[in-house]
Amino acid sequence: MIGGGVVLAILAGAAVIPSWLARRPLNLVVISIDTLRADHVGAYGYGRPTTPHLDALALGAHRFEQAYAAMPTTLPSHASMFASLYPRQLGVRRNGQSLRPETVTLAKVLSDRGYATAAFVSSVALAARYGLNRGFAVYGDTDEPTRPGSATVAAARGWLRSMRAERPFFLFVHLYDPHSPYHAPPELRRKFGAPDQPEPPAFEFVPDPSIFVPEVVDACIRAYDAAIAAADAAVGDLLAEIDSLGLGRSTIVALVSDHGESLDELIASHGYAFDHGEFLYPHQLHVPLILRVPGGGAGVHDTPVSLLDLTPTLLDLLGLENLPQAMGRSLRPLLDGRSLARIRLFAERRTFDHLPVPYMTGDAVAVLSWPYWLITADAGPPELFRIDTARAEKVELQGQQDASPLPNLIAQWTQAVKPLWGPGAPERDPKALERLRALGYVQ
């Protein structure tokens, strides 16, 4: 993150630990629901009953209304979330690259502090071979391209039941159900009025955008909602397990998504549908962020925050120092009822081997300086949006005096935020590449 053209100073140390933290170290559970845009969550105002368990969690928790990912791509977003560094700093700017050994993550810090650590993930995009497993004593991934969230949660519940009570633990659970193409159990498809077969019929840059007549678009969105509901049911099972084991009062629960999703917004303008990663529009980066802290109260916060803030916040809540090179800041002042200055948030697009569209050439960077969202790209003109409306409203940069400094701030950020190490090694194994290709991750 950067404010006023200057990279934020490292937040040193932790604040005084309140009594509810001082008794013994709390446990930590982080749940990531892949491809879940905030505006399809009930707690964030969505009308369909996609997320009853998330909504119940949010009632007794802190909900961040304006949380944004650093990149709309699975591995880079999770890596930046757990290392509190931008993907370009990590050298991981697409799926299939590997985190460098120098990377210090939340799991590594907690493992070194004596926490029992385990992760269970639902997609090969987060396979152990890409380095996110560092610091986890147990890392349950899958040889298949994906697995249902229910299976991932079943493995996580088994691990929780095997835990020994004398050590605090950190559990990370990743659910993939809302990723296109949208699969959901038949009963959920029926509940949401979605077709029996997976949807959409085509996604990303579609060969024939004319197939997306209103009836097809509606079917696809209903299928997306059904898939969200499948992930929500898995979350419900995990939270019920935590409570049944008597861990609810000693466990911080963080629920987040790595990025959002384009639905039908870009069909007419770009021939692009039901996917993510190629653009930096708000709907691909605006995500839910919910924190339930034992004894830590509840609230709704409209201060814009980055997913780079998650690890600093969790470390602060656990009474530990921030990561030495963190770009994020602790959000704990908001949880404690204090204010936190609004600062500018940045996001970047992943790199591509090749795409058949000229405006994907080169880099693209977005900045949020509330209420403006500016996107600049090497291969196209800047685009400016106001995001304090029901849907992001595109406006002319020349007509918005308050937004005029933003292109220069992006240029400053690009100069200041440099790779800390060389790029992560790309995937070369043919079988692993084929699994990534099955998910649309290899061009």
- pLDDT tens digits, one per residue of 234-268: 999 999 999 999 999 999 999 999 999 999 999 99
pLDDT on residue 355: 63
Tens of pLDDT along 104-140? 999 999 999 999 999 999 999 999 999 999 999 999 9
CA-CA-CA-CA torsion sign (415, 419, 422, 428): negative
pLDDT on residue 1: 42
At 147, the pLDDT band (50, 70, 90 cuts) reads: very high
- Work out the burial of residue 41: count CB atoms within 10 Å of its CB; fewer than 13 is exposed, 13-18 middle, 19 or more buried: buried
Say if strands 299-301 and 62-68 run parallel, antiparallel, or are unpaired: parallel
Say what the alpha-carbon torsion angle 60, 179, 79, 361 is, to the nearest 10 degrees: -130
Question: In this structure, are residues 377 and 410 in contact, taking their beta carbons and an 8 Å threshold?
Answer: no
Confidence check: pLDDT of 61 > 50: yes
Q: Quick one: tokens of 247?
A: 């861990």
Give residue 437's identity as a one-letter amino acid code.
R
Domain spans in the chain, listed from the N-terminal domain onward: 25-338
Question: How many angstroms separate the CA atoms of 188 and 96, rounded?
Answer: 32
Q: What is the 3-state secondary structure (H, E, C) of 122-155?
A: CEHHHCHHHCCCCCCCEEECCCCCECCHHHHHHH
Confidence check: pLDDT of 440 > 70: no
Lowest mean per-residue pLDDT among 121-125, 230-234, 383-387, 388-392: 388-392
Say if strands 27-33 and 251-256 run parallel, antiparallel, or are unpaired: parallel
Neighbouring residues of 171: CB distance < 8 A, sequence distance ≥ 6 = 27, 28, 29, 30, 117, 118, 119, 120, 156, 159, 160
Q: What is the CA radius of gyration of the chain?
A: 20
At 431, the pLDDT band (50, 70, 90 cuts) reads: low
At 21, the pLDDT band (50, 70, 90 cuts) reads: very low
Q: Which helix (H) or strand (E) holds 216?
A: helix 214-244
Q: What is the DSSP letter of 439?
A: T
Topology given in CATH for the domain delimited by 25-338: Alkaline Phosphatase, subunit A (3.40.720)
pLDDT on residue 354: 64
Confidence check: pLDDT of 438 > 60: no
Question: In this structure, are residues 70 and 318 in contact, taking their beta carbons and an 8 Å threshold?
Answer: no
Lowest mean per-residue pLDDT among 189-198, 200-209, 348-357, 409-418: 348-357
Report percent pLDDT > 90 for the chain: 74
pLDDT on residue 17: 40
The full length of the chain comes to 443
| Residues β-bridged to residue 283 | none
Report percent pLDDT > 70 for the chain: 89
